[in-house]
Amino acid sequence: MDIEINLLKKEILQCSKCHLAASRNHVIFGEGNTNAQIFIIGEAPGRDEDLQGRPFVGKSGQLLDKILDACGFTRNEHVFISNIVKCRPPDNRIPTPQEAATCMPWLLKQIDLINPKILILLGATALKYMAGADRKITRERGNWLSLQNRLAMPVYHPAALLRDPSLKRDTWEDFKKIVFKYRDLVNPEHYSAHV
């Protein structure tokens, strides 16, 4: 398994299937535990991620880490984090449908190899590209979906929470559902100080 993941990583780091390759500093493969039961899907790397080569290291990432911590989850142990597209779109625009479609086989291979029980769809872009363009994050957040034979929970993107802190209350309810499901499916003893 780890051999396969490392081969996949090597391939992804060399990808030039779309024009985002030309302007990137790094391909952001993702990080976390490749045996994790939770796979978090973001939108795309931003400036900080492109410079550092790691996902969710800017302001959104700091908020994501706080939320994970409140759930008793760590990046190293409980989750793997990646994005719909693995290279930064210029000016942080939303990835186009074509960019997302070109990059999607990489994400699907990562999900296949890591084989998580739970997917977390962070924000409108992850929801739309994973579940269909007609999906609305405001309508579907907090409700389990079935995707690739796995449970998927759409939640607001941390950047949306930074723009509108009133969304944090709903988001915490959604993450509590994830902790309950993790106890059901993975580890009944999972400890969280807050859930």
CB of 72 to ligand URA, least distance (A): 22
- Listing from the earlier edge strand, what are the strands of the sheet with 118-122? 31-32, 79-83, 38-42, 118-122, 150-155, 145-147
Residue numbers at the binding site for ligand URA (CB under 6 A): 42-46, 49, 55-56, 60-61, 83, 123-124, 137, 156-157, 160
Residue nearest to ligand URA (CB): 42
Q: The tokens 């985002």 sit on which residue? A: 20
Number of DSSP helices (H) and strands (E) in the chain, helices first: 9, 6
CB burial of residue 55 (10 Å; 0-12, 13-18, 19+): buried
CB of 82 to ligand URA, least distance (A): 8
Q: Which residue, 34 or 125, has its beta carbon nearer to ligand URA?
A: 125
Q: Which residue, 44 or 103, has its beta carbon nearer to ligand URA?
A: 44
CB of 27 to ligand URA, least distance (A): 12
CB of 127 to ligand URA, least distance (A): 8
State the Cα–Cα distance between residues 60 and 32, nearest whole angstrom: 17
- Token reading at 68: 């994970």
Q: Which residue, 37 or 125, has its beta carbon nearer to ligand URA?
A: 125
Contact yes or no for 13/27 (Cβ under 8 A): yes
Q: Which residue, 52 or 102, has its beta carbon nearer to ligand URA?
A: 52
